[in-house]
């Protein structure tokens, strides 16, 4: 093989590699550097080694925030997957313009601005003046404590986060369903499989991969979400919805503790990296 040919793939990869290294990976390493210093207002005052990491990992507030983050992300994910499967099964019966229209409608929350969507939800949920409680009052029922009760606030946050991601899950799963060869389903039906059995033994195993992909992409997306929790609840009431991204944001931009904030960012990144590796393993992508 000619030398030029040997170099060709590297030439092709160089621009992307540089951009990813420079914009995504380098700041990460820079924040590793920040995290080893006492760094207030961007002044590196003292090298403290792993102290910042020890500080954040032994702080119960942050550990609880991590726990809350996983809980909220997981519940939201499970709901999105279950409803995603149901919607996908429903739409799978249709073809043409109807199916297309439904897919688009369900995908809209995923592809529009989170800030605006969240603020508008918050307005609708506003306890005394919002549309939701107005309608409830019109029906003669007692108005709900929506965001001022810690228990319901968590569910409202889960609702809005699920609302955002459900379309993605549905479209992924639908594509999986569409890829199942008709002959297999027909064979199962001829063998006397019921609807439930068809789902359990034929369809679900065949959409394993899209389910896994959705699981991981949406977990990452939920865990890293700052916009929705910050705009919807600001972490409250109390600490009910105080997820880890809010802590990172507050440390950095309200208390100016960039060292500890970086340490927390890195811990969060490592968690998401482990999940990404899971992603690769799950799809068994061959290189």
Partner 1 sequence: MRSNQMQVSLGTLEKWKKWLHIYEVVLFLFVVIVNLAPFIWGLLTSLKPVREVLSYPPKLFGSQVSTEHYEEVFRGTFFTGFRNSLIYSAIAIAVGLLFAMMAAYAMSRFRFRGKKLFFILILSGIPLSIGSAAMVVPNYTFFSSLGLTNQWYTLPIIYVAYNLPMAIWVIMGGLESVPVQIDEAAKIDGAGNWRILFGLVVPLSLPSLASAALFIFLGAWNEYVVSSVLVSSASLYPIQVSIYNYMGFYGIQWGPLCAAATTAVVPTLAVFAILGRMLISGLTAGAVKD
Partner 2 sequence: MRKMKKGLALVLALVMMVAMTACGGGGDTNEGDGEKGAKTEGGKKELLVWTFLNPNDESGRGYVLAKAKELYESEHDDVTVRIESLEWDTMTAKFFAATQTGEAPDVIWVNGLNLGEAIQLGVVEPFENLFLKDWTDEQFADLDDVRFEYGATDDAHYQLHLSTNVYGIVYREDLFKEFEIDPNFESWDDLIAAAQKLTYVNEDGMQVYGLGVGYNEKSADSNYLRAQLFTQYGDVVDENGQANWDGDVGQAALQMQIDMIDKYKITPQSAVSATSEEMYADFIAGKYAMVFGGSVRIPTIKSQCAYDPDSVKLMPYPSSNGMDGKGLAAGWNVCVYSGSEMKEEAGEFVETLCCPEIDKLWVEEGGQIPLLKSTVDACGEFLSQPDNEYLKTAMEMLENNAVAYNSQYVISGYVTDLVKSMQLAYVEGKSVEEALATTAREFNERNNN
Residue list 226-285, contact with partner 2 (CB under 8 A): 230-231, 233-240, 250, 252-258, 277
Q: Residue 168: is it exposed, middle or buried by C-beta count within 10 angstroms (0-12/13-18/19+)?
A: buried
Region near partner 2 per CB under 8 A, out of 120-128, 180-188, 204-212, 215-223: 120-128
Candidate list 13, 26, 63, 187; residue touching partner 2; CB under 8 A: 26
In the shown chain, the binding pattern of residues 142 to 181 toward partner 2, with x for contact by CB under 8 A and - for none, equals ---x-xx-x--x----------------------------
Contacts with partner 1 in 9-28 (CB under 8 A)? 9-13, 15-17, 19-28
Q: Which two tokens stand for residue 278?
A: 């899971």
Question: Please, what is the minimum distance in Å from the beta carbon of residue 279 to partner 1?
Answer: 7
Q: Are 214 and 275 in contact (CB under 8 A)?
A: no
179 belongs to the binding site for partner 1 (CB under 8 A): yes
Residues that bind partner 2 (rule: CB under 8 A) add up to a total of 40
In the shown chain, the binding pattern of residues 131 to 150 toward partner 1, with x for contact by CB under 8 A and - for none, equals x--x----------------
Q: Which long-range contacts (CB under 8 A, 24 or more apart) does 26-31 make?
A: 28/266, 28/269, 31/262, 31/265, 31/266
**Binding at 168: pick from partner 2, partner 1, none (beta carbon under 5-8 Å per type):** partner 1
Region near partner 2 per CB under 8 A, out of 20-28, 72-80, 95-103, 166-174: 20-28
> CA torsion, points 212, 218, 221, 223, in degrees to nearest 10?
-90
Q: What stretch of H or E contains 169? A: helix 150-178
Q: Are 147 and 235 in contact (CB under 8 A)?
A: no
What is residue 279's three-state secondary structure? helix
């Amino acid at each position: 093989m000619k030398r030029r040919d040997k170099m060709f793939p590297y030439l092709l990869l160089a621009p992307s590699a540089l951009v990813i290294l420079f914009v995504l990976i380098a700041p990460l390493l820079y924040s590793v550097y920040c995290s080893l210093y006492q760094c207030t207002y961007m002044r590196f005052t003292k090298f403290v080694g792993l102290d910042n990491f020890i500080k954040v990992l032994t702080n119960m507030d942050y550990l609880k925030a991590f726990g809350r983050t996983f809980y909220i992300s997981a519940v939201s994910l499970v709901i999105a997957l279950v409803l995603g499967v149901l919607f996908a099964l429903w739409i799978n019966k249709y073809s043409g313009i109807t199916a297309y229209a439904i897919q688009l409608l369900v995908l809209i929350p995923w592809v529009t601005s989170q800030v605006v969507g969240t603020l508008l939800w918050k307005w609708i949920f506003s306890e005394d003046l919002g549309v939701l409680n107005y309608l409830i009052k019109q029906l003669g029922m007692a108005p709900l404590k929506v965001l001022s009760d810690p228990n319901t606030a968590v569910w409202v946050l889960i609702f809005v986060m699920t609302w955002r991601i459900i379309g993605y899950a549905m479209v992924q799963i639908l594509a999986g369903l569409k890829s199942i060869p008709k002959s297999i389903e027909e064979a199962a039906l001829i063998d006397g499989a019921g609807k439930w059995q068809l789902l359990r033994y034929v369809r679900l195993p065949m959409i394993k991969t899209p389910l896994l992909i959705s699981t991981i992409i949406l977990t990452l997306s939920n865990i890293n979400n700052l916009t929705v929790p910050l705009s919807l609840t600001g972490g409250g009431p109390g600490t009910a919805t105080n997820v880890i991204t809010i802590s990172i944001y507050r440390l950095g931009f309200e208390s100016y503790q960039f060292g500890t904030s970086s340490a927390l960012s890195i811990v969060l990144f490592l968690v998401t990296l482990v999940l990404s590796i899971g992603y690769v393993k799950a799809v068994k992508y061959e290189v």
